[in-house]
């Protein structure tokens, strides 16, 4: 392997690393989503007496550190290549001097062979080091993406739980969703959390479809029903439960399945 060939291979490797970093759209999309979520009142999630660490800043710092390591490796390779070129000139001059006594051709060939052996050994060691850094960079990017998915899901769940207690419109939307499954029944019983009962009574015009066949609706309260959720039962025994934790579980499954699909297509 010559110095010029190794340099070309190294440049291709760095170009591939830069392109791979710039094409990590899902990671950027997730981080961008985190920036939007950070605009909410994060003080709801802080622990008293404990400093809040911005996960996005930590992720960006780790990426910058890995990029800095790659830049250092590239600079070291360039410096070593120049040093070997200077050494080649010196070895050539020495070979010329030895050639006066031993024969120019034989001395030069020996010097060139020694130089090539040493340079190839150095090139192999440097390539292995660069490949190791590249593998560590890719592995860390995937780890950060996975952590970003977990963080996004956790923030969405906490935000939804807060809204379910602060925004009474949530229970209206949940009941409306359930009516879509049991809307053709004539008699229904809707069981909600005691904190949601009054609003459920007052907002029937919102969640009751105009084309519904329901003639009799009874709304009752049970503290075993999670805030923001409901249970809808028909006189014929049909039942549907819309609990907030189950809704959030379906949301989490959908996000993780989408992320796994992206990983398998890489």
Q: Please write the tens of the pLDDT for every residue from 227-247.
A: 888 888 888 888 888 877 777
Looking at beta carbons, which pairs linking 113-117 to residues 24 or more positions away fall under 8 Å? 115/84, 115/87, 115/88, 115/91
Q: What is the CATH number of the domain that holds 241?
A: 3.30.2320.30
The rounded distance, in Å, linking the Cα atoms of 19 and 14 is 9
On average, the pLDDT of the chain sits at 70
pLDDT bracket for residue 56 (50, 70, 90): low
The rounded distance, in Å, linking the Cα atoms of 95 and 66 is 43
198, pLDDT greater than 70 = yes
181, pLDDT greater than 70 = yes
Show Cβ contacts of residue 225 under 8 Å, excluding neighbours closer than 6 positions.
191, 192, 193, 231, 243
- Domain end, chosen from 166, 200, 217, is at 166
Which pLDDT belongs to residue 226?
Answer: 84
107, pLDDT greater than 70 = no
The rounded distance, in Å, linking the Cα atoms of 223 and 152 is 30
Task: Look at residue 263 and tell me if it is in a domain.
Answer: no
Q: Is the Cα torsion angle 255, 257, 263, 266 positive or negative in sign?
A: negative
38, pLDDT greater than 60 = no
Q: Which residue from 246, 250, 201 is spatially nearest to 225, judged by alpha carbons? A: 246
Q: How many of the other CB atoms lie within 10 Å of CB of 56?
A: 16
Q: Are residues 240 and 108 in the same domain?
A: no
Q: What percent of the chain has pLDDT over 70?
A: 63
The rounded distance, in Å, linking the Cα atoms of 178 and 3 is 70
pTM: 0.40
Task: Look at residue 259 and tell me if it is in a domain.
Answer: no
Look up the domain containing 103 and give its range.
3-166
Q: Are residues 54 and 67 in the same domain?
A: yes
Task: Look at residue 55 and tell me if it is in a domain.
Answer: yes
pLDDT bracket for residue 46 (50, 70, 90): very low
Which pLDDT belongs to residue 6?
Answer: 45
Q: What is the mean pLDDT of residues 71-85?
A: 77
Q: Are residues 21 and 131 in the same domain?
A: yes
Which pLDDT belongs to residue 156?
Answer: 67
The rounded distance, in Å, linking the Cα atoms of 225 and 32 is 35
Which pLDDT belongs to residue 158?
Answer: 67
pLDDT bracket for residue 13 (50, 70, 90): very low
Q: Are residues 151 and 173 in the same domain?
A: no
Show Cβ contacts of residue 241 under 8 Å, excluding neighbours closer than 6 positions.
229, 230, 231
Looking at residue 53, the DSSP 8-state letter turns out to be P
Q: Are residues 8 and 132 in the same domain?
A: yes
Q: Are residues 126 and 190 in the same domain?
A: no
How many independent structural domains does the chain possess?
A: 2
Task: Look at residue 257 and tell me if it is in a domain.
Answer: no
Q: Are residues 13 and 136 in the same domain?
A: yes
Q: Give residue for tokens 């960079």.
A: 137
Q: Are residues 50 and 108 in the same domain?
A: yes
Q: What is the mean pLDDT of residues 177-204?
A: 83
Task: Look at residue 181 and tell me if it is in a domain.
Answer: yes
The more confidently predicted of residues 244 and 151 is 244
23, pLDDT greater than 60 = no
Q: Are residues 71 and 136 in the same domain?
A: yes
Instruction: Give one DSSP letter per residue of 142-195, joined into a string.
Output: HHHHHHHHHHHHHHHHHHHHHHHHH-THHHHHHHHHHHHHHTT-SEEEEEE-HH
Task: Look at residue 262 and tell me if it is in a domain.
Answer: no
């Amino acid at each position: 392997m010559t110095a010029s060939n190794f340099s070309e291979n190294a440049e291709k490797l760095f170009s591939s690393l830069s392109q791979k970093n710039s094409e990590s759209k899902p990671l950027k999309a997730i981080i961008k989503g985190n920036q939007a979520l950070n605009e909410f009142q994060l003080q709801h999630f802080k622990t008293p007496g404990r400093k809040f660490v911005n996960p996005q800043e930590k992720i960006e710092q780790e990426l910058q550190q890995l990029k800095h390591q790659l830049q250092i490796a590239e600079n070291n390779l360039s410096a070593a290549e120049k040093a070997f070129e200077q050494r080649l000139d010196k070895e050539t001059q020495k070979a010329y001097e030895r050639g006066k006594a031993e024969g120019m051709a034989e001395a030069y060939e020996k010097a060139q062979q020694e130089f090539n052996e040493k340079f190839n050994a150095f090139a192999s060691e440097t390539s292995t080091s660069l490949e190791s850094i590249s593998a560590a960079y890719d592995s860390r990017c995937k780890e950060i993406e996975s952590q970003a998915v977990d963080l996004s899901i956790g923030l969405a769940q906490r935000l939804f739980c807060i809204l379910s207690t602060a925004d009474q419109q949530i229970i209206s939307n949940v009941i409306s969703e359930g009516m879509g499954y049991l809307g053709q029944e004539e008699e229904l019983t809707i069981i909600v959390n005691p904190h949601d009962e009054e609003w459920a009574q007052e907002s029937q015009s919102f969640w009751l479809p105009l084309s519904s066949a329901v003639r009799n609706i009874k709304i009752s309260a049970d503290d075993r029903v999670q805030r923001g959720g409901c249970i809808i039962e028909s006189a014929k025994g049909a039942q549907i439960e819309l609990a907030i934790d189950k809704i959030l579980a379906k949301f989490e499954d959908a996000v993780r399945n989408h992320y796994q699909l992206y990983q398998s297509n890489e």
